[in-house]
Chain A
Amino acid sequence: MRQAEEKPEHRPGSGEKFPFFPLFKFSSGSIIFILLVALLLFPSCRQGKSGHTIVVAGSTSIQPFADKWAEVFMEKRHGVVVDVQGGGSSAGIQAVRTGAADIGMSSRELRDDEKELYEIEVARDGLAIIVHPGNPVDSLTIEEVKSIFIGEITTWEKFTGQKKAITVVVREEGSGTRGAFQEMVMGKSRISRKAIVQDSNGTVREIVSRDPNAIGFISLGLVNESVKALALNGVKPTEEAILNREYRLVRPFLFLTKEAPSGLVKEFIDFVLSEEIQELIHKEGLIPVRPITRSGG
C-alpha cells in the first residue's frame, strides 16, 4: 500500500486525504444511516399480534412458499400484514406454543408431546434421491440408499458394474431437508462423515448435475431435467404415488395453532387451503392436499 505523503502542516478541515485502502471506505454518515435503517426495521419484526398482523414462523422448507401465499393474501386484504419468518420446524412449534407466532410451520410430523397443538396439513413435499442424468441406475431400495449414505457401499460397482467411487452429497446439519432424510431413510444411523455438505437444495442439485458419480437428496419440487430422480423400491416419485402413499419419502407441510383457528388466522389458513393457493402449490412442485382439518387432543 502506498504511504501518504507527509505534510509538515496539519490544517484540520482542509480536506486532506487519509491513506485508507480505497476499496473499503465507509463514511460515518453511511454507517449511521445503516444503523438507523436497522432500528427502523427491527421493531417491525417483533410486532406481536395486533389486530391486523399475523406472525407465521417455522420450517425454512415451507418459508419460501408461505412468503408467496402471504403476498397474495395481503394483496387481497389491504391493511393486513402477514409476517413470515423462518427458524426451523422446532422453533416454529416453540413459537406457536409460547404465543410468539400465531401460526407455526412444521415440515415434520409432530411428536407425541407436541400433539396438543392444532395441526392443519396445507401441502405435502416429497424427497427425491437424485443422481446424474447419465447414471444408468434407475431404481434403488431404501436399504441400498441407506447403505450408500452410511458409507458402507462406496462404489457404483454393485449397481452399474463400474468401479467408480460414489460422491455422496448431503445438506448441512440442522436443515429441514436433512432432518427429513435422516428420519425417513437413515433412522438411527449416521450419515457418513465423508459426505460432501452443501447448504441449499440448489447447490446439491448443481453438484449432482455435474458429477457423474454423485448421489444426493433434494426436495421433490426442485427436481428438474438436470438430474434424475430415482425410483425407490421400484416406485417412481410421481404425484400419484405420493397421494396414495406408495412413495415413502414424503413429509407434510403443517400449519400449527395453539387454539382452534379463528379470525384472521382462520381466514389465512382457509385461504391457503383454497383452490387458488392449492393450484399455486401444485405449480411450484409441491403436492396439494384436500382441506382436511385434523385436530389433536
Chain B
Amino acid sequence: MTPLERNDRLIRIGLLMIALSAISILAIITVFIFEQGTPIMFKYGLKSFLLGRDWYPTEQSFGLLPMIVGSLMVTAGALIIGVPLGLASAIFLTEFSHRRLTRILKPVIELLAGIPSVVYGFIGLMFLVPFIRENFGGPGLSVLAASIILGIMILPTVISIAIDSIRAVPDSYREGSIALGATKWQTVRLVVLPAARSGIVAGIILGMGRAIGETMAVIMVAGNAANIPDSILAPVRTLTSNIALEMAYAGGEHREALFATGVILFIIIMILNTLANVTTARQRRK
C-alpha cells in the first residue's frame, strides 16, 4: 500500500464515521422522543390522545386533536398561499423576465430564507394581525394570519427549487414547441411545467416540511387556543407550538404529554413525506 492509498483509506473511514454520527444522532433523537413520549400515551390510551378535544394537561386531560387539526390546517393554508405565488414567481423569473433582472431577483428571494422566523412573527404581529382584526373581525391572531406568514416563509424554498428544475428543462423542448406554432404561454404550460414537475413537487414538499415544523412565527401570530378552529379567523394551536409554549414550566405527566405531542408530530411528518414521495414516484413512472 502506498502512502497515498493509505491516506485515501483513512480519509474514507473518517468520512464514513462522520456520516454515521449524523445518522446515529437522528436515531438517538427518535429513540429518545419515543421513549419519553409513548409510555403516557399507552397509560391513558392512544384514542384519548388522538381524538380527545380537551387539552388540560395539569388535569390529566391530554386531547391532541385540536393541535393535530391545527397543524394540518395551517400547513394547508400555507401551501394554498405559498405555492401559487411561488410557482408564478418561478415561471416569471425563468421564462418571461429579463436575464439580468432574474440575476438580481433570485438572490434576493433566497435571502428571504435567511430572515429569522421570529422577525416574520414580529412583522405578522405588528401589521398582519391588526389588519385582519380591523378588516375581517375576530381577534386577528388566527389561522389566516399563520397561513399567510407561513406562506411567505416557504416562498424561497418553493421558488428557488422550481427555478432550478424549470431551468433544467432542455431548451430544445421549448424550441420544438415554438416551432410547432405554440405560443410562449402554451409552451410553458404544456411543455416546460410538465417536464419540470418532479422538481417542482419536491420543492413544494420541502416547503410543506418547513411550514409544519415552523414554531416561533406561528406562536406569535396564531393565538394558540387549544381548540379546533371554527373559521379561518379563529385562533389555532399547532403541534410544534404546543411543545414550545408549555415546555418551560411543564413537569411530570405534563412534560411526558409534550413528548407525546412530539411523537405524533414525528409520525405525521413521516406520513406526509411518505405520501409525497410515493405520489411523485408514481407520477414519474407515468
Contact = CB atoms under 8 A, between A and B. Distances in A.
Interface stretch (B38-46, B146-154, B222-230): B222-230
A139 interface: no
B250 interface: yes
Given A193-B54, A193-B66, A211 B140 contact: yes
Interface stretch (B55-63, B75-83, B172-180, B184-192): B55-63
Interface string A193-216: 111111100010011001101100
Contacts of B129: 210
A174 B58 contact: yes
B225 A60 contact: no
A172 interface: yes
A194 B225 contact: yes
B114 interface: yes
B197 interface: no
Contact of A172 (B113, B223, B246): B246
Interface in B51-108: 53-59, 66
A225 to B, nearest CB: 19
B200 interface: no
Interface in A208-261: 210-211, 213-214
Given A1-B164, A211-B133, A211-B139, A193 B248 contact: no
B136 interface: no
Given A1-B160, A1-B161, A211-B133, A199 B245 contact: yes
A219 to B, nearest CB: 15
Given A12-B7, A23-B114, A199-B219, A193 B249 contact: no
B141 interface: yes
B141 A207 contact: yes
A91 B223 contact: no
A173 B251 contact: no
Contact of B251 (A23, A90, A203): A90
A126 interface: no
B237 A197 contact: yes
A288 interface: no
Nearest to A203: B220
Most B CB atoms within 10 A — which of A60, A91, A193, A213? A193
B262 interface: no
Contacts of B209: none
A197 B251 contact: no
Nearest to B133: A211
A67 to B, nearest CB: 16
A33 to B, nearest CB: 17
B213 interface: no
B251 A88 contact: yes
Nearest to B10: A12
Nearest to A193: B227
B223 A196 contact: yes
Contacts of A87: 251
Contacts of B219: 199
A193 B58 contact: no
A235 B220 CA distance: 34
A87 B125 CA distance: 29
B251 A91 contact: yes
Contact of B249 (A23, A176, A196): A176
Nearest to B250: A174
Contacts of B164: 1-2
B30 to A, nearest CB: 21
Contact of A173 (B114, B125, B141, B246): B246
A174 B139 contact: no
Given A12-B7, A60-B249, 15 more contacts: A1-B160, A1-B164, A87-B251, A90-B251, A172-B246, A173-B58, A174-B57, A174-B58, A175-B248, A193-B66, A193-B227, A194-B234, A199-B246, A210-B130, A211-B139
14 contacts: A1-B160, A12-B8, A60-B248, A60-B249, A87-B251, A172-B245, A173-B55, A173-B56, A173-B58, A174-B249, A194-B227, A197-B225, A197-B237, A211-B133
